Amino acid sequence: MAGGESNMGEIETEPIRPKVTDAKGILKQNREFLDFFWDIAKPEQEIRLQAIENLVQYLKNSEKEDELRYTLKRLVEGLAATRETARPGFSLALAQVLQVFEDVPLQSVLDQIKEKHDPQKVKKKLVRNAAFGNFFGVLSLSQSGRLTKEPRVVLESVQLLQSLAQFREHLKDLPRKTMVDILSETPEAVFEEVLLGALKSDLSSAFSTPEQLHLLLVAIQRFPGVLKPKKLKNLLGASSVVTADNIPKLVEVLKTAAKSVKKDRTMPPVGLDLLKVALKENSFDLFWKEAVINGLLKDQLGPSSYMCYRLLGSALPLLSFSQLKCVLGGEVMKHYGEHVVTAQLPDRFKFAPEMESYVDSFLEGCPDPEKQFAVMVAFSSLTNQGYPVVPSYWKVVRHLQLPVLLRYVDWLKDMFSNPQLDTCMDFSTKRQQQNQEKGDRTQHCVFRLRKWIVPRLISIVDNPLVKKEEDLVMDIARFIFFHAFFKVVKSNPVIPETESSLAVPLDEQTRSVIANSFFGLLQHLNHLPLMGDSPEVAALNERHVQGVTADGTLWIFCIVQYASVLLSQSKHVQAARPFSKEQREAWDRMLQSVEALHKKAKKSQNMETAAFQQLFLLVGIHLFKTPEESVELINDLQNCLENAQEKKSKKKKATASSEESEEPQWVEVMVEILLTLLSQPSRLMRQVSKTVFGRMCPHVTQRALQIILDVLDPEKDEEESGVVVTDQKDSRKQKKEKKPADNEEEEGEGSDSSEEDSDSSDEDDDGGGGEEDEDDEEKEKVNENFRLELMKVLQGKNALDMEGAESDEEELDDDTMMELDQNISALFSEQKKRIQAKKDEKENMRKEKVLVRDFKIKVLDLIEVFLSKQAESPLVFGIIEPLLGIIEGSMGSESSQQEQDFLRKTADIFRNQLCKTKRYCRNVSDRKDELHELMERLLTRAQKQADSSVSLYYFSAALYLVRVLKGNASDTPAATPAGKSKKQKKVEAETSPTDQSMCVGSLDKERVAALFQAALTDFMTRRKSSLSGAMFIDLFIRFPILCVQLLESAVRYITEGVRQHQQGQACALVQKALQMREVRQSMTDTEWTELIGRAVGQVTACLKTVTGFKVKVDQEKVIQCLELTRFLIRTAQQQKLAVSVTELGPVLESLSQLEGFRKSGHVDDTYWNVMKLLGFSKPKKEKVKKPAAEEQQTAPKKKKKGFLPETKKRKNRKKVLVEEGKPSEPGQGADWEGKQGKNNKNKNKRKQAEAGMGESNWPAKKGKFQSGNKPKNKKGKQQRGGAE
């Protein structure tokens, strides 16, 4: 025992020894060498790796044995470091050192590890660290790569890991995993001669724990020549692992392994290795049926079920085709399908993403097309009442080979036409079985299956990672279009879709779903990049050419041609909704127009022609869905095309100009058509409308733009805005009736697309306090009317006593009571109907309001397109006020999410597409008066706003107009000589920035300066001004020509500002203006000197008015004044101006004496920066230390802080005094507590947190009870502080 204590003492003092013994060696020789070990112990991984690399390199270059010995000793000690992040660093460093220096024997290092980290010789609290030290030591030996070269060290390492099994609570299964790693690197001869005997006990008890079974399985796979069946029979009692007798043991081990990885949610290694051994022993069927299905799967526990699913996913790449078919059609797959359906509830663990990763890795690495097809069909056939459990958009499809993909598409189409539900692995949950109706279940399953197949086909087209060809895309598009709008009458080889008749006819609900999905497919085709690997295709894709085939034909044009073929084959194909005569004529006219435009486009590329062609095709294909609306749109498009061509014709130029005033131009009609298309909740319509409008932007007129702006006008009635959208009177009724179908179309077109400001849903709630007040008033009126009617009914049957009338003692007879009940019931029924009718009316109004606002959000797309395409058009000026009106009206309105989206998008367009754009109208000389008036209106509105954020938008618009009117020097045409010398060019380059900033252009400098002067006066003299100093700072920076005009006023407002805030902002404005080079160059030296002098006088007068620093506004004002003062003094000193600053010194000195000056560090620092320029230095504070004698005298005055209640302290104090034999004076302790306790109560609370850490280490009795011995406690505290 004594020897053990001495050893423990040596271990504790051992880290200190190098400081003494090596004092003249390593420690004084090289500090850099010791820093490596500090960096190795740091938690940052990058620092650790760099330190290890530097240490190895240093030892290579040093070649000193004493440093290498010290390194090994230091690294071995670090293996058991207290910090968990340091242990792996020391382990890796030791492995790297042993790998580089092969002359270091591993046996000696292992002996050091055993001796240093012996769990039997360390203190009990260090046993955990010692166990980790042994483990990381063996791990470093294994990672060095030299362990297998020394069999004896391998044996001792394995034995050491076996001895660590008793510390499982600390190390868990890390030693077993390390043993497995050692086995995987050990040669077969070493295993047979050395390790087999040491591991015999573990191998023979393999069915006890998952770790021991895993060890056996790894040994069987690694050393098949050693662990032969005969050897296994001696170890296990059986010649193989997977036998009927061992199945129960294996099941229990697998259950234990499944529970051990419950939190990690991973596949335990023992499960995968057991699967591989079962395949190797040709006993996979037995293992899968008995151990997995009848064992784990019947356990009905989550970890066991998840392990079955992981075994299924892991087995896919290992199985043969027959085994794959067996596994994919078994109970595990069905059980997995039930899990996917039930796990859709919230807060449920979902295994589907993990299974998807298994299938994805299998398909990626599987070269066998048969296996790929089998897996895809199996998972697509796992259905819940006809609906497959895998999502319709499944990313794993991207790994399918092209022949497999074609075969899979054919299988999907065949399942759509002839649903073979018998081949599907269909199931129903318990709740579905309970709620199942007695109707035709087959029809329901077929509908659900077809509802999944169509989106799956569309996902193949939509996924850009799927390798496909144009023929496949067109085949899918034809298939979906045909079954959405046509029926098979007779087979025709020209139309492949007619060759397979539908086993179960399509109902109207299914056709509606397919039709909506088809228009979603059109949206994807419109953005589909070119397919192919040729250089031409790659070049076109770099130009972002989309929506066309390789030969340049639009995808929608291919579908229209196919639809034309179908309509011409009336004997073999019949439309689901046959065209009327008018609709067929509209279709034929559309085809003729498209053909004419197509021929015209071949001759010369024209944006206008492409826009018309795309619109004709889109509206024409919508004839199959909404024929009545589409016919009118085709007629309007036809008239627009004719008017556009007629306008271009030189022969009819006079006619066109005479009719221009009477009939609307074709651009205006086109805009109305686009607005009508935008009113439909279709992403395809929205995208095509934006594309078409972008192409016709150069032709847009003021009237056409005004039509769009009228829709966005917040002052317009919502009913008028709905009429502007379409020319139909009942447009809104149709929109409300078609809302459910439109929502389905939205889903079919991909609700997960990342389009900015996408269509808002109807679930957005509209807030507003005004509506609630109206509702309360209406309820009061309704309640009053209902009360009067109820009184009439009761009075009619004498059931209610009248005032002043004598009450009859006799009650009403039964007939009267029955009649009264009927009347009351009818009255309440009518009242309920009235209430419900009002609720329905309000709900309809709410939905209608949401639709209108949703439409306005879409119309903003057109404004954004116009501003991006035609930023240099003078029509842009007409957009400024409408956009500002929307921002002003929406800022204070209801706060629903849809309204916020509308406001956010409007503000974004105004700020980024209008105010910040680099392109603007260059020639404004003919409309400069109009723009000046607009600027005046904007600044007036900015001053009248109640919200500063809205005022900022108006002010920004005014600055935009200043930039447009001012222009650049390069904008104004001037006759310049063709040839210029280098010297002239250099001079122009130097002077051009100033000239451009000070040029006037079409700007009326005096008029604009007067406008901004009025705005500055409003800001400086009005208390509640909506303007801000940042607005004028922006004005000064961007337009120095106006800054010069406003500078004098800004200097004056340093003292004349209405409040401290305005005075501080005036200082900031003056400082910003004086810092600008253009302002200095616009003045003479005399004017500049006078200006600096006036500014110094104003700042001095402003600082004199400061009386204190009570509020933050005072501090901000002083800071701005001091910063301006520093700039003025520095400018006067550097430029040697004749400016007197002598008056500033006394003013600044008096400033530091005011109350609250020291509260703000910013004020203090800025103040002394100014004072240094005036020759004053900041006084240094000297800390005066009290003498020791004085401290001892004053120490008893401080009260000892305690942590226990006063009552307990008093009681225990008496007890302590009795124990010490000192008689206590009655009342002395209580009187002292009474005098000092009240005064020091708050003080003790403040100091309790600071003194708590130190007092917690004091002796219990002294810290709690001795309140009288203050000097003794103080002295003890000082002694402890000195010791620390």
- Tens digits of per-residue pLDDT, 779-799? 555 566 767 777 776 666 555
> 1219-1242: per-residue pLDDT in tens?
444 444 444 443 434 444 444 444
Phi, psi dihedrals of residue 1084, rounded to the nearest 5°: -80, 170
Phi-psi region at 727: left, alpha or beta (left = phi > 0; alpha = psi -120 to 50): alpha
**Closest by CA position to 1141, among listed 1105, 1107, 1103:** 1103
Whole-prediction pTM value?
Answer: 0.68
How many other CB atoms are found less than 10 A from the CB of residue 1028? 17
With tokens 């850099």, the residue in question is 32
Amino acid at 937: R
401 touches 483 (CB < 8 A):
no
Q: What is the pLDDT of residue 1207?
A: 59
Degrees, nearest 5: CA angle 1145-1148-1152: 140
Output 613 or 1001, whichever has higher pLDDT. 613
> 1212-1223: per-residue pLDDT in tens?
444 444 444 444
**Among positive and negative, which fits the CA dihedral 1171, 1173, 1174, 1175?**
positive
525 touches 547 (CB < 8 A):
yes
Residue 788 CA, distance from chain mean position: 58
183 touches 195 (CB < 8 A):
yes
Burial of 601 (0-12, 13-18, 19+ CB in 10 A): middle
pLDDT at 838 exceeding the cut of 50? yes
Output 547 or 737, whichever has higher pLDDT. 547
Burial of 198 (0-12, 13-18, 19+ CB in 10 A): middle
**Among positive and negative, which fits the CA dihedral 125, 129, 131, 134?**
negative
Burial of 262-294, coded b for 16+ CB within 10 Å and e otherwise, reads: eeeeebbbbbbbbbbbbbebebbeebbebbbbe
Mean pLDDT (the chain) is: 77
* HEC-encoded secondary structure of 534-573: CHHHHHHHHCCCECECCCCCEHHHHHHHHHHHHHHCCCCE
* HEC-encoded secondary structure of 752-764: CCCCCCCCCCCCC
- Kindly give the pairing relationship between strand 382-384 and strand 425-427: parallel
CA distance 287 to 279: 9
Q: In 679-799, where does DSSP find H-type helix?
A: 683-695, 702-712, 718-725, 731-737, 739-748, 769-796
Bridge partners for 573 per DSSP:
488
Output 1075 or 659, whichever has higher pLDDT. 1075
pLDDT at 626 exceeding the cut of 80? yes
Structure tokens at 173: 């299964």
Q: What is the pLDDT of residue 1186?
A: 55
**Among positive and negative, which fits the CA dihedral 466, 472, 473, 478?**
negative
| pLDDT band with cut points at 50, 70 and 90 for residue 695 | confident
How many other CB atoms are found less than 10 A from the CB of residue 490? 12
> 71-124: per-residue pLDDT in tens?
888 888 888 888 888 888 888 988 888 888 888 888 888 888 888 888 888 888
Q: What is the pLDDT of residue 720?
A: 46
> 804-825: per-residue pLDDT in tens?
444 444 566 677 777 777 777 7
Structure tokens at 1257: 């280490």
Structure tokens at 289: 């049926």
Amino acid at 1036: F
Structure tokens at 522: 């059109």
Q: Which of 37-46, 144-153, 588-597, 621-630 is predicted with the least confidence, judged by mean pLDDT?
A: 144-153
What DSSP character marks residue 320? -
CA distance 405 to 848: 45
Output 610 or 220, whichever has higher pLDDT. 220
- Highest mean pLDDT: which range of 110-114, 233-237, 827-831, 1027-1031: 1027-1031
Q: How far is residue 1175 from each of residues 1097, 1122, 1133, 1178, 1207, measured CA to CA in Å?
A: 19, 16, 12, 10, 62
| pLDDT band with cut points at 50, 70 and 90 for residue 437 | low
Q: What is the pLDDT of residue 717?
A: 47
Bridge partners for 426 per DSSP:
383
Q: What is the pLDDT of residue 651?
A: 39
**Closest by CA position to 227, among listed 211, 244, 246, 204:** 204
pLDDT at 336 exceeding the cut of 80? yes
CA distance 1019 to 1029: 8
Output 1188 or 911, whichever has higher pLDDT. 911
Q: For the packed helices 86-100 and 45-62, what is the interaxial angle rounded to 10 degrees?
A: 30
pLDDT at 1269 exceeding the cut of 70? no
Residue 225 CA, distance from chain mean position: 56
Q: What percent of the chain has pLDDT over 90?
A: 14
181 touches 220 (CB < 8 A):
no
pLDDT at 903 exceeding the cut of 70? yes
CA distance 91 to 143: 9
**Closest by CA position to 958, among listed 880, 906, 891:** 880
With tokens 């221009």, the residue in question is 660
CA distance 1224 to 949: 74
